[in-house]
Amino acid sequence: MQEKQYKCVHCRINGKEVETVVDVRASLTDMLRNDYRLTSVKKGCEVGECGACNVLINGECFNSCIYLAVWAEGKDILTLEGLLGPNGELSDIQQAFVDETAVQCGFCTPGFIMTAYEILESGKEYTEDELRKLLSGHICRCTGYENILKAVKKTMLKRLGKEE
Amino acid sequence: MYDIKALYEATSVPDAIQLLLDHPDAIIIAGGSDVLIKMREGKLAGSTLVSIYGIDGMRGIHMEDDGTICIGSLTSFSHITKDPVIQKYFHVLGEAVDMVGGPQIRNIGTIGGNTCNGVTSADSASTLFAWDAVIELTGPDGVRRLPIQDFYISAGKVDLKPGEIQTSIRIPKASWEGYEGNYIKYAMRNAMDIATTGCSVNVKLSDDKSTIDDVRIAFGVAGPIPMRSPSAEAAAKGRNVSSETVEAFSQAVLEDVKPRTSWRATKEFREHIAVVLARRALTESIRLSGGEL
């Protein structure tokens, strides 16, 4: 039997400097859920296809299920929990998902919102086709995507001061 | 948790080479979007991994003094698409890799991994074949460079010797200057899909835009590894820019492509779309070059 291998990983999660010892075989999903109790990071397909485990690493979206936890060393990670205000207030994009009924079972929602967050933070105005492509790394089996697209588009236009 | 026997993280290229020599059975992991999936499937379960993902010196794109475009092997697909050098001189590669998987996959997937897998469907590969890319490998005996066509040996097998890693992909100035190209991926879905067939074409027209001075075409999934179509190139090179030339060019691909029937598509269907994609990609390349049909 091979000896277990561990590594101490220092990183920044939702604005807080943290460190923990992880088994080198762990995925970033494992670390975020098990060590930090960040359960917005869902275990879906676990092969990088469904987007339920999506988080931001240094401002870019990654499926944390196919990202080794040890690679998080020195990285800045943002999960859905990090979008909440100091008293648990919802961010604009989260509220938009509620308002547009872009949530049904909710399993895909955190992943979608993190991609939406990256899109919105770019400060760019995208066409609907571009938004569809940018959101294409997520699978939702409930909503049919239209309301998700609406929520992202509305928030984008709102942030750009171009409300319909 | 992944079924990893042991993981070694390389901090530099020499470190990676040493780790690979020390652990000859180890598998190289770059972004991991193929290795970890194969591990999950059980195919690579229990493997020892040497991670090169942390070698930041292998990321980024720059142009050398002699005009060679040099792409670090760990550069992610999304960074290739966004790169100003690529957008200005080699936009077709940026467009091709923007069709890989989905946004998150394009952030983790690397061009080095895409080529070292040796798979025929890699979206970057046909374009790299069509632009005469040169693969740079670094190993215990130093650096060697070889044309991408020689790098691919057979399905899933590339010319990586023990202790070697791919460090960059290079496009010499003579391969890009004056060329315009287009890549078409034919797949069943617009995202998260693998090409049924992919086709990359580029042309260099004469100054008066009436003659095709040079044309290059490569396919993915038209054979066990990505391939050029010399017959098609011969049918159009030196010919006038006309729809007859485009037709002769696209029909000639049938002399070279050797697709097979798989669950994705039949051999006959792939042959049909190979002709159609060649025609469309050449037409678009001529248009981008300022030619008129």
Query: In chain A, what are the domains?
Result: 6-79 (3.10.20.30), 92-159 (1.10.150.120)
A27 touches chain B (CB under 8 A): yes
Question: CATH number, domain at B11?
Answer: 3.30.43
Predicted confidence at residue A164, as pLDDT, reads 67
Q: In whole angstroms, how far apart are CA B104 and each of A113, B92, B149, B187?
A: 13, 21, 29, 19
What pTM does this model have?
A: 0.96
Q: Is residue B293 part of a domain?
A: no
Asked whether residue B64 falls in the same domain as residue B158, the answer is yes
Last residue of a domain, one of B12, B30, B51: B51
Residues 79-108 of A with CB under 8 A from B: none
Question: CATH number, domain at B71?
Answer: 3.30.465.10
- Our CA-based measurement puts residue A84 at a distance from the nearest CA of chain B, in whole angstroms, of 23
Asked whether residue B133 falls in the same domain as residue B185, the answer is no
Write the residue in A49, A68, A115 that is nearest to B103 by C-beta: A115
Instruction: Specify the residue for token string 């590594």.
Output: A7
Instruction: Indicate yes or no: CB of A2 within 8 angstroms of CB of B6.
Output: yes
Structural domains in chain B (count): 3
Asked whether residue B181 falls in the same domain as residue B279, the answer is yes
Predicted confidence at residue B99, as pLDDT, reads 97
Asked whether residue B232 falls in the same domain as residue B196, the answer is yes
Asked whether residue B72 falls in the same domain as residue B153, the answer is yes
Asked whether residue B44 falls in the same domain as residue B63, the answer is no
Q: Is residue B30 part of a domain?
A: yes
Q: Do the Cβ atoms of B169 and B134 come closer than 8 Å?
A: yes
Asked whether residue B72 falls in the same domain as residue B159, the answer is yes
Predicted confidence at residue B269, as pLDDT, reads 97
**ipTM of the complex in this document:** 0.96
The structure tokens listed for B116 are 């070292």
Please say if the pLDDT value at position A1 is more than 90.
no
The type of residue at B265 is A
Q: Is residue B169 part of a domain?
A: yes
Q: Which domain holds residue B245?
A: 177-288
Give the residue-averaged pLDDT of A51-80. Answer: 98
Cα–Cα distance between B181 and B202 in angstroms, integer?
A: 4
Asked whether residue B181 falls in the same domain as residue B143, the answer is no
Give the residue-averaged pLDDT of A55-82. Answer: 98
Residue pLDDT, tens place only, A138-160: 999 999 999 999 999 999 999 99
CA dihedral of residues B238, B91, A112, A43 (deg, nearest 10): 70
Question: CATH number, domain at B258?
Answer: 3.30.390.50
Predicted confidence at residue A3, as pLDDT, reads 78
Asked whether residue B195 falls in the same domain as residue B225, the answer is yes
Q: Mean of the per-residue pLDDT values for chain A? A: 97
Q: pLDDT grade, residue A163 (50/70/90)?
A: confident
Instruction: Indicate yes or no: CB of B1 within 8 angstroms of CB of A48.
Output: no
Average pLDDT per 10 consecutive residues for chain B, totaling 293 residues: 97 98 98 97 97 98 98 98 98 98 98 97 97 98 98 97 98 98 95 94 98 98 97 98 98 97 95 98 98 93
Residue pLDDT, tens place only, A12-25: 999 999 999 999 99
Asked whether residue B155 falls in the same domain as residue B181, the answer is no
